[in-house]
Chain A
């Protein structure tokens, strides 16, 4: 079983739709969680950190469920410009080495 798992997609949604991705992690010692966005042939860029109580940044909401060991990313009112790959990243306690999921591809169409 991989340490961090994501559905690769692609998720194909119309503009204005709400879409959610999950990411499961296997190591219960995981302590830090992040969502990155990566456009084709570009570097990953931090979208948001994920806090225990959940957090929101505009149209984006991140949640952490420690009991079931997953994090989620919800995108409301999807824009064409949201089309990208979304990478889930997890750090274990006491480690500065992150583990990447394989990424989820999102395509938002007109």
Chain B
């Protein structure tokens, strides 16, 4: 089984709609990172969560780590075309610092 699973794999939403992307592990997430990647380009750091129940927001993006530290969600409010891209979660599941295991990514398209 996959160590870190993201869902959905792809998502098409109408501009202005809210959406949620999930990242789930069977192991404890000692550190959970969210990145945005445009196709063929680098990873843009969005947020990092470490404590169970932690929630962080930046502009219209909110990320949460559940109390058990095995699932994280990324929520975008009132989506815009600029939010389009691939969202990746990366996690430290070995308590080894920043040796991250990544999920398969969620490809988001926002229709104007």
Question: Do A and B bind?
Answer: no
